[in-house]
């Protein structure tokens, strides 16, 4: 079976396996006091045991950036058509959102604010 560009990046540039893939994003950033344009690919691999998102980011070239946009769309469409994998990802999302606690978030923000002022 032929691997996609994204699959090849996962195998060759991350410690994760292809089956763990849950999505990807591209970033275009101005750095070094707005004098350098850089491009990054972030690949997502679901959640760890602590229910934190797992991702891996690598820097890519401008040419790779434009090519990867189409590859990500294609890979994600394939993922959407895989009902078993899609349901697994959705279950993880629901579990993570059920564990979210606004009171804890409010307390953390309040403590950060107090430390700032």
84 or 68: which leads in pLDDT? 68
**Structurally, how many domains does the chain consist of?**
1
Average pLDDT over residues 8-27: 90
The residue count for the chain = 117
For residue 18, the 8-state DSSP code is G
Cα–Cα–Cα angle for 116, 55, 12, rounded to 5 degrees: 140
- Give the domain extent around 88: 5-116
Q: Output the pTM of the full model.
A: 0.66
28 or 84: which leads in pLDDT? 28
106 or 10: which leads in pLDDT? 10
Burial (CB count within 10 angstroms: exposed 0-12, middle 13-18, buried 19+), residue 43:
buried
Q: Provide CB contacts within 8 A for 5, sequence distance 6+.
A: 67, 68, 71
Look up residue 52 and give its two tokens: 């934190």
């Amino acid at each position: 079976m032929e691997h996609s560009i994204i699959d090849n990046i996962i195998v060759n540039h991350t410690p994760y396996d292809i089956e763990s893939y849950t999505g990807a994003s591209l970033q275009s950033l101005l750095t070094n006091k707005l004098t350098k344009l850089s491009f990054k690919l972030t690949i997502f691999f679901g959640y760890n045991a602590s229910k934190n998102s797992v991702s891996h980011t690598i820097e890519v070239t401008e040419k790779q950036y434009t090519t990867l946009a189409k590859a990500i769309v294609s890979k994600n469409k394939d993922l959407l058509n895989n009902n078993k994998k899609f349901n697994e990802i959705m279950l993880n999302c629901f579990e993570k959102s059920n564990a979210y606690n606004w009171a804890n978030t409010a307390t953390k923000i309040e403590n950060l604010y107090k430390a700032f002022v």
